[in-house]
């Protein structure tokens, strides 16, 4: 799996730790760090990093992304503005599972000011293990979302 990870200044601490976890995961082929660079927490806005991640997914350059801001909400909203992207904030295992199995989300977001680091790390690992099944009953819902977006 080709992944991207990014944050704004409010999510920089978690981004760095989760990025290292991803690099050590055998399921991950590559990790593209969208910033901000260490020592430059204001180099990214949550909007710029989220839109960039979405554009990379739509272009086929990466498969999924994990984004972190203060709440996870801002990056999710911004990423969802990119046509073809389904992003969600999740802070529990069930939501992480359903983000893929029911909604085929390509972007998972976290809030560094909302959940603990160990939970965020665990949820990121869980998320990597899920694959959307196009033969599931949820496929029709995802298709309806895509059709609406393509109008």
DSSP letter assigned to residue 61: S
27 is written with which tokens? Answer: 């399921």
Write the CB contacts of 66 (distance below 8 Å, at least 6 apart in sequence).
Answer: 3, 4, 5, 18, 22, 107, 108, 109, 110, 124, 127
Cis check for the bond before 36: say yes or no (omega within 30 of 0): yes
Q: In 3D, which of 62, 57, 85, 60 has the Cα closest to residue 2?
A: 62
Specify whether 69 is catalytic: yes
Exactly one of 31, 56, 69, 123 is catalytic; which is it?
A: 69
Task: Please give the positions annotated as active site.
Answer: 69
């Amino acid at each position: 799996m080709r992944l991207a990870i990014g944050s704004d200044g409010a999510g920089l601490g978690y981004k760095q730790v989760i990025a290292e976890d991803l690099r050590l995961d055998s399921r991950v082929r590559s990790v593209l760090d969208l910033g901000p660079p260490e020592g430059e927490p204001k180099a990214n806005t949550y909007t710029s990093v989220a839109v960039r991640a979405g554009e990379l997914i739509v272009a086929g350059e990466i498969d999924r992304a994990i984004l972190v801001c203060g709440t996870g909400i801002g990056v999710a909203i911004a990423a969802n503005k990119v046509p073809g992207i389904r992003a969600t904030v999740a802070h529990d295992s069930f939501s992480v599972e359903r983000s893929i199995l029911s909604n085929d989300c390509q972007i998972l977001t976290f809030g560094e000011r909302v959940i603990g680091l160990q939970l965020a790390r665990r949820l990121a690992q869980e998320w990597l293990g899920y694959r959307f099944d196009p033969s599931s009953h949820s496929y029709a819902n995802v298709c309806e979302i895509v059709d609406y977006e393509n109008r």
